[in-house]
Chain A
Amino acid sequence: MSKKAPLLPHLDIAALPGPDTIRREELPNGIVVLIRENFSSPSVVLSGYLLAGALANTADTAGLAFMTAIAMTRGTQTRSFEQIFEAIESIGASLSLYGGTHTTAFQGKALAEDLGLLLELLADVLQHPSFPKTEFERLRTQQLTALAIREQDTGARAQMAFNTLVYRDHPYGLSTNGYVETISELTTSDLRKFHREYFSASGLVITIVGGVEADKVLDLVSSTLGQWTTKKQRAMPDLPALKPLKKSRRVEVRLEGKAQSDLVIGTAGPSRYDEDYLAAAMGNSILGRFGMMGRIGEAVRISAGLAYYAYSAISGGPGPGPWQVVAGVNPKDENRAIEIVQKEIKRFTSRRVSEEELFENKASFIGRLPMQLESNEGVAGAISHMERYDLGLDYYQRYQNMIAAITRDQVLAAGKRFLDTERLAVAIAGPDGDGV
């Protein structure tokens, strides 16, 4: 790499978000506030999370964190559902909450002049949700409808079948959105209890980026969320260890009347905390992202003409999320596509990537950073990411050097460590395979 290294893009470090341009404050109640001003934008974005997620649910209560998050905007002690959304929508703003596996995330956007109102509403729904029964019943029916649609979605069914194969009784094997049986049984008391036990200011991180002065943002956050105090909360349970697959496994889901099959092939990947994460992410780019979706795209879509989409993805969350290849193919081509994918994974895990591949992927990782950090959403996401994974506020300023230092051996080692071709899960969802 030494002779090519100088050709890697060089970014102006001062223009990237860093300790000098990100204000980080911790409020007395434990809330971490991160702010970056952007006066070229007329709008403002807020995003963040708190430590309440589906990990605290069981197989019998799957979907509880998800339903709690969406139900929180359906009424508070002082505002009805209509009042909340009249306030949000009448200013052209948005506000949503999402209950995931590890955290409940929130996201909002407004014109810069309306940040105060948006924060006031966020603070109210986080602290004082009333979980009105009528609204909850409506939500329940909407969610049951969504689950009926999911039953017919080949992509979703293949992913769920894959998760069941790879994660079995590990919490990652459960759907965060729940199941008909669990959603049907939830009550508003369950939601109220989950909120009471797990939602608190401690561990809450909020990032705000846009056309508002940092001092003013801090005042607004302090006045809306700074008084939130709760008694000692329950901590989220630790993530149990995942037992790896002992051998490759395959599962097929057959749905009548479909025209295309979805495939998911892979296994559990590294967490974002793993020391091999960046090398694995670089390898994933070579395997199934770069250009028109890397080696997988080249083999499945471009050479064989089998699929409209064929790519690989690495999740890189707090735990061992999937590292997987996804493709949509004609049902008669299922086995051919699977063979091609398995061959590419075998090649990826047995031979080093070429110097050229590694170089151009490094160039891409570094060069695309300004685009990823162009929007308020992009910057807010990057700042939350640094905070969530203890990367340090200078992470994006160190990023180009870290990327440049990744070696072919590290990429191969990461591939070998996670993508064992003798222990892959293969999930298919599609029509009855005429001609397969």
Chain B
Amino acid sequence: MSDASKPNLVTRLRNGLEVRLKEIHTAPLATCWVWYRVGSRNETPGTTGVSHWVEHMQFKGTPSFPAGVLDRAISRNGGVWNAFTWLDWTAYLETLPADRIKMALELEADRMQNSLFDVDEVESERTVIIAERQGHENEPTFRLAEEVQAASFRVHGYHHGVIGDMVDLQSMTRDDLFAHYRRHYVPSNAVLVVAGDFNTRRMLNQIREIFGPLPKAPAPQHMSRPEPLQSGERIVNVSGPGETHYLKIAYHAPAAKDDDFLPLTVLGSVLAGASSFNFFAGGISNKTSRLYRALVDGEVAASVQGGLAASIDPYLYNVHITVRPDRTPEQALAVLDQEMARIREAPIDEAELSKAIKQARALFAYSSESISNQGFWLGFSEMFADGSWYESYLDRLAEVTPKMAWEIAQKYLVDSNRVVGFYRPNSS
């Protein structure tokens, strides 16, 4: 791995804020990301969805910057901002012309401790978030994915989705949201990444000036309840409108830091095509993957996708199949089972391995090109591992052998380790 992936400076302020800086001078831009170590995994029944809702409230103003002021200011300065909540983390992003990036630092420091959580704003946002959830519910694939995820985790916080359960969205209070905010939005629970066209020393001084005065507070203790080993296949059925059958198969997968993760990444690429761990980077087609050939060329499915996520705790390797109208989901599952048996029975060949590695190299290059994406990687990898995970990713991937991948297939890609979900249209 070249030095291109390494930050120029990593340090920690006295209040515990971790700072990672990287100078990039290819465009007159800079990006600022603040990553908080909190996501839906940390939520409990009654307040599921609170992390995501707090993220929305972070756009509703502080005494210094009332609601509506900042989004105008960011736009006026030729920038973009956004935020994302996921299982393990919540991230805030601004990308601006480099000479305006101070604005992002100021607003992020401000909303790390001064957000208002006005009662009326909370109520107004409640209907917005319920509308967001209802928009998802319009999609059969969301409804299936939510049930499969719930069936996969009986104990662990990965049980529920980021959006949260409707009953909690209806009942959560302003105090629930504010308590979550005060507990998790502290410097010691955050990573600040700035990447782009600046001088590192001057940027660090600016960061010390703006974030340094934030008071030190203890990092929240995260309770983690490990998911017990699944001891038998689980089946979930969901029915609803439409004409199309979907099939979702979720295998429990290792955590990103686990030695098993990269061999499973290679297997995922061979089975259903390569995909990037960067949420904001495009992918490539998967028409030569084993599952595409068996299911789509085999005229059982209209499409197949696979996905593995880099997570703190063991999550899932998902396969999603859209069944052809002239076939049944049971036929699709039978074909998938044959392919899973094949990958357990014999090692992948060297050509498949080298293709997976070349694809990973290309996707990694694409996903590191823009300044915003560099900022993404520098913070993202900190959320579930540390910076070296990202820096050494391609080198470690190149060390995977067919034999290693074979052992991992036998360990993870077995029926007793999976949940099979069927979406069955009411019309069928």
Chain A residues packing against B (C-beta within 8 Å) = 9, 12, 15, 40-43, 81-82, 85-86, 88-94, 96, 109-111, 138, 141-142, 144-146, 148-149, 151-154, 255-260, 290-292, 298, 301-309, 328-330, 360-361, 363-364, 366-371, 373-376
Give complex CA distance A181, B124 in Å: 44
**Distance A298 CA – B75 CA, assembled complex (angstroms):** 14
A330-B127, A370-B97, A375-B369 known; A92+B361 contact, CB < 8 A = yes
How far in angstroms is the closest Cβ of chain B from A245?
28
B155 at the interface (CB under 8 A from A): no
- Collect the chain A residues with CB atoms within 8 Å of residue B273's CB: 89
Mark contacts of B229-246 with chain A using CB atoms, 8 A cut-off: 1 yes-contact digit, 0 otherwise: 000000000001111100
Provide a sorted-by-A list of 5 A–B residue pairs whose CB atoms are within 8 angstroms. Answer: A9-B77, A91-B358, A111-B365, A142-B302, A145-B324
Q: Using an 8 Å CB-CB cutoff, how does the interface string of B18-29 with A read, 1 for contact, 0 for none?
A: 000000001111
Evaluate contact between B29 and A149: CB separation under 8 angstroms.
no
Bound CA–CA A298/B26 (angstroms)? 36
In the complex, what distance in Å separates the CA atom of A279 from the CA atom of B97?
A: 24
A258 with B138, Cβ < 8 A, contacts A40-B26, A91-B362, A149-B244 known: yes
Contact A94 B285 (CB under 8 A): yes
B68 at the interface (CB under 8 A from A): yes
State whether the Cβ of B286 lies closer than 8 Å to any Cβ in chain A: yes
A363 touching B77 by the CB < 8 A rule?
yes
For the complex of A and B, list the 3 residue pairs with the smallest distance between their C-beta atoms, beginning with the closest.
Answer: A367-B78, A92-B362, A257-B241
Give the docked Cα–Cα distance between A360 and B68 (Å). 13
Instruction: Say yes or no: A9 contacts B134, CB within 8 Å.
Output: no
Q: Is B208's CB within 8 Å of the partner chain A? A: no
A109 to B285, CA, bound (A): 12
Cβ of A328: which chain B residues have Cβ within 8 Å of it?
A: 131, 134-135
- If A9-B97, A89-B288, A92-B359 touch, whether A330 touches B131 (CB-CB below 8 Å) is yes
Contact pick for A89, options B27, B124, B302, B359, CB 8 Å: B359
Residues of A with C-beta under 8 A to B244: 145, 148-149, 152
The answer to whether residues A92 and B358 also contact, given A151-B243, A375-B370 and a CB cut-off of 8 A, is yes
From A96, A110, A370, give the contact of B29 (CB < 8 A): A370
- Given A93-B362, A260-B131, A308-B132: A369 in contact with B78 (beta carbons within 8 A): yes
Beta-carbon contact of B284 and A94 below 8 Å: yes
| Contact bitstring B41-68, A, C-beta under 8 A = 1, else 0 | 0000000000000000001000000011
Contact of A260 among B72, B80, B135 (CB under 8 A): B135
Residues of A within 8 A of B241 (CB): 152, 255-258
CB of B3 closer than 8 Å to a CB of A? no
Residues of A within 8 A of B134 (CB): 259-260, 328, 330
Q: For the complex, is B218 an interface residue (Cβ under 8 Å from A)?
A: no
Task: A306 to B123: give the CA distance in the assembly, Å.
Answer: 11
Q: In the bound complex, what is the Cα–Cα distance between A111 and B76 (angstroms)?
A: 35
User: Which of A42, A303, A309, A361 has the most C-beta atoms of chain B within 10 angstroms of its own C-beta?
Assistant: A42
A258-B241, A370-B27, A374-B371 known; A306+B365 contact, CB < 8 A: no
Residues 63-95 of B at the A interface (beta carbon under 8 Å): 67-68, 71-72, 74-80, 95
Residues of B within 8 A of A306 (CB): 127-128, 131
CB distance from B198 to the nearest CB of A (A): 15
**B residues in contact with A373, CB < 8 Å:** 27
Which residues of B356-397 are within 8 A (CB) of A? 358-363, 365-366, 369-371
By beta carbon, the residue of chain A nearest B141 is A149
Residue of chain B at shortest CB distance from A148? B243
